[in-house]
Every structure is written in structure tokens, then in C-alpha cells.
Amino acid sequence: MPRIRSTSVNPNEIRITGLGGSSPQWTIVVLLTFLSLIPSLLICMTPFARLLIVFHFLRQALGLQTTPSNQTLVGLSLVMTFFLMQPVGDAIYRDSILPLQQGKITAMDALQIGAVPMRHFMGHFVREKDAALFLEMAHEPKPRNIDDLSLRVLFPAYILSELKSGFQIGAVLFLPFLVVDMVIASITSSVGMMQLPPVVISTPLKLLLFLMVDGWHLLIGSLIRSFS
């Protein structure tokens, strides 16, 4: 981080020294740009998108409109994203941020070094089909391996792969609750309970089923294992 220090000449004067020996002006520009891109980077470079999609599918499958709330689901996704990304963050801090703070490398070198762990993480979950699609659109030659894939292709291919994975998990998660809805609707219609909506009966039963099988434990465990 940039260091703010007061000089002995004028106690009221504050100077900002740049990162890695670079100029303070460029350091401030880089930091402000990075801060503005954090929300997009969080969605496009981490498991956050897949986790949030699955949690929203679960809420819809249970027949709950506002419980858990959006803030709760986003917070849970953030906590799990931090848990999954901690090894990557440790590698970036050790290989990129610490040498930058010590002035051993420049800010641009730090960005290039810090992108390596992220590239390995995203490359592990990118489907070849999605990577080939963006390679064709970008008119880039086919790389020898995932390490040669440009970030211009890797970023959109990764988020597209995460969206597909999230929808696949959500669809599988939806099926058992859909069966419960169909059974309850068939029973209520066969006995002539037209005044009572089937969802009034099926929602408590789906919640009871979810709690009996310890659904949160199973879901969180399966999601974490999907990133191993």
C-alpha cells in the first residue's frame, strides 16, 4: 500500500510515496482503478457467480420468495468465496504484494505475477468448448495449453463456464422439490381441494424434507467439493 508520511521540515506537509519506486500519481491512478473494478472482478474471477446462482435456485425450489433474503445469500456467497479463494490470495500476497511493498518489483510486474495464480484457478474450471468459442471470436491462434490462453479469452470463458455449472447444479437441485409439488398438486386436485392452493401445503413439506436431510450441510459440502 502507498505510505503516507509527515516530513520533519513541515509537520503539516503530507507526502505519498509510490509503490515499488513508481510515481505517486500513477500509484493513485492504479489503486483507484483497481478499487472501482473490485465488484466486477469478484463476479468474473471467483466462484461467487456460481454460488449465488445455486442459492437463488434453492430459494425458488423451496417456494420461498424472500427467505433467506438477498443480503443473506450474497453474504453467504462472499464467505464461501473467501474460503475457496484463500489459497489463491495467499499466493498472490506472497509472490506479488510483498515484493511490491518491499520495492523489489514495479506495479506492472506485480500485476503480471499476481495474475498467474488467478489464471491457474480459472483455467482449471474453464470448459474447452467455451474457450474455443472466444478464441474463434477473438481470431487468436489455438494455444498449446491453458497457460498460453490470453486473459481476453480466459475471463469471458470462465464466467460462461461458471454460469453453466451454476444452472446445472440448480436444475438438479430443483428436481426433488418439483416432484413434491407435483404429488401435492395431484392429491389436492383428486380430493377436490380447489380452494386451498397446493403451494400452501407443499412449502412446509419441502422445508421439512430439506431439514430432515440436513440440506444446507449437503449443499455447501457439494459446492465446495465441486471446486476441488
Q: How many angstroms separate the CA atoms of 197 and 175, rounded?
A: 20
List the single range of 3-7, 18-22, 84-88 with lowest mean pLDDT: 3-7
- Decide if 118 contacts 93 (C-beta within 8 A): no
Handedness of CA 116, 118, 121, 125 (dihedral sign): negative
Mutual orientation of helices 70-92 and 48-61 as an angle, nearest 10°?
160
H, E, C per residue of the chain: CCEEEECCCCCCCEEEECHHHCCHHHHHHHHHHHHHHHHHHHHHCCCHHHHHHHHHHHHHHCCCCCCCCHHHHHHHHHHHHHHHHHHHHHHHHHHHHHHHHCCCCCHHHHHHHHHHHHHHHHHHHCCHHHHHHHHHHHCCCCCCCHHHCCHHHHHHHHHHHHHHHHHHHHHHHHHHHHHHHHHHHHHHHHCCCCCCCHHHHHHHHHHHHHHHCCHHHHHHHHHHHCCC
Residue matched to cell numbers 505475477:
113
Would you place residue 24 in the very low, low, confident or very high pLDDT band (cuts 50, 70, 90)? low
Mean pLDDT over each residue of the chain, to the nearest integer? 79
The per-residue pLDDT for range 118-134, each reduced to its tens digit, is: 888 888 888 888 888 88
The per-residue pLDDT for range 166-218, each reduced to its tens digit, is: 899 888 888 888 888 888 888 877 777 667 777 777 788 888 888 888 888 98
The per-residue pLDDT for range 162-171, each reduced to its tens digit, is: 999 889 988 8
List the grid coordinates of 172: 438438479
Give the max Cα distance, the chain.
90
Q: Has residue 14 got a pLDDT over 60?
A: no
Q: From the CB of residue 199, how many other CB atoms can be counted at a distance below 10 Å?
A: 12
- Decide if 108 contacts 98 (C-beta within 8 A): no
